[in-house]
Amino acid sequence: MEIIKDQKFGGERPLFAIKDTRLENIEILDGESGIKCCKNLEASGCRFYGKYPWWHVHGSKIEDCYFAAGSRSAIWYSTDMEMKNCTIDGPKFFREMENLSLENVVINDADETFWKVKGLKIRNVKLHDGTYPFMFCEDIDVDGLESDSKYVFQYVKNAVVRNAKIVTKDSFWETENVTIYDSYLDGEYLGWHSKNLRLVRCHIGGEQPLCYAENLVLEDCTFDAASDRIFEDSTVQATIKGSITNIKNPRSGCITADAVGSVTIDENILAPADCKIIVR
C-alpha cells in the first residue's frame, strides 16, 4: 500500500482516483473534491477543510481525523467504510451509502446527516444540533447513541437501537420494523405513523407519544408524568411499569399499567375500538 504523509493539498480533485493508499497526517485545504473516485484507502490523523472531500470512495478506513465546518457534504456515494475516533463539525455527512460503520465519533452539526444509508452500524456516537439525521436509512444497528438533533430516524426501516439517549422532536416517524432497547426517549410526537415499532425497557417523555401506530409493542416501559394523550389511533400491546397520565382513543390491543390517571374515549375513536386497559 502506498503511503502519502505530512502533506497539504488544495484546489480541485488533488487526489483523484487514487487507490490502495494510506494517508497519514495530511490536510485537504480549501477547494473541492479532494478525494474522489478512489478505492481501498486508509486515513489516519488527517484534517479536512474543503468541500466534498470524500466522494465515491469504495473501501476505506478513517481514524483519528477531523472534518472542519467547511467540509460540508463531505462523505457521499461511498461503500464499505469504517470510521473511528473522529470529530465532525460539518453538516450533511454520509449520504447515498452502503455498509458504513462508526465508532467513537462526535458530529457537532448533524444537520441532514445519514440520508439513504443502507447497512449502518453505530457504536458510541454523539450527534448535536441540526435536523433530520437518519432519513430513509435501512438496516441499522445502534449501540450507544446520544442525540439532541431534531426529527431523528424518520422513514427508516429495519433498525435495532440499544442504549440511546435521544432528546428531540418528532422522532421515529413513518418507521417500519424498528426495535429500541434500554433507551431514554424524550420529545414530542414519538413514533407517529410507525409500523412494527417495539420498545423494550425504555423511558418515554414528551407530549402525545406513540399515536397512529400499527402493531406497536411496549415491554416494561415507563413514562414521564407530562406524557399524555398516548396511543391515539394505535393498535398496541403494552406493559407499563408505574403510572401513565392519560390514554386517548387507542384503536385496539391491550394496555397494562400499574396506574392510569385518566382515559379519554370520545366520538373520534376509530374501529374496532376494543382496546383493553388493565390496571394491575
C-alpha span between 216 and 211 (Å, rounded)? 9
Q: Which residues of the chain have pLDDT under 70?
A: none
- Whether 12 maps to a domain, the answer reads no
Q: What is the pLDDT of residue 280?
A: 86
- Whether 180 maps to a domain, the answer reads yes
**Cβ neighbours, 10 Å, residue 213:** 26
- Whether 128 maps to a domain, the answer reads yes
CATH of the domain at 223: 2.160.20.10
- Whether 11 maps to a domain, the answer reads no
Cell of 247: 390514554
Considering the entire predicted model, what is its pTM?
Answer: 0.95
C-alpha span between 151 and 189 (Å, rounded)? 10
What is the pairing mode between strands 66-67 and 79-88? parallel
- Whether 63 maps to a domain, the answer reads no
- Whether 207 maps to a domain, the answer reads yes
Tell me how far CA of residue 21 lies from CA of 3, 25, 38, 39, in angstroms: 6, 13, 9, 8
- Whether 170 maps to a domain, the answer reads yes
Cell of 149: 438533533
Q: What is the pLDDT of residue 64?
A: 98
From 132, 84, 87, select the one nearest 107 (Cα to Cα): 87
C-alpha span between 146 and 164 (Å, rounded)? 6
- Whether 135 maps to a domain, the answer reads yes
Please provide residue 215's backbone torsions phi and psi, each rounded to the nearest 5 degrees: 60, 50
Query: How many domains does the chain fold into?
Result: 1
From 279, 176, 193, select the one nearest 232 (Cα to Cα): 193
The per-residue pLDDT for range 29-74, each reduced to its tens digit, is 988 899 999 999 999 999 999 999 999 999 999 999 999 999 989 9
Contacts with 58 (C-beta within 8 Å, 6 or more apart), sequence order: 38, 39, 40, 78, 79, 80
Q: What is the pLDDT of residue 30?
A: 84
Q: What is the pLDDT of residue 1?
A: 87
- Please give the residue range of the domain that contains residue 183: 29-37+49-55+69-279
Amino acid present at 140: I
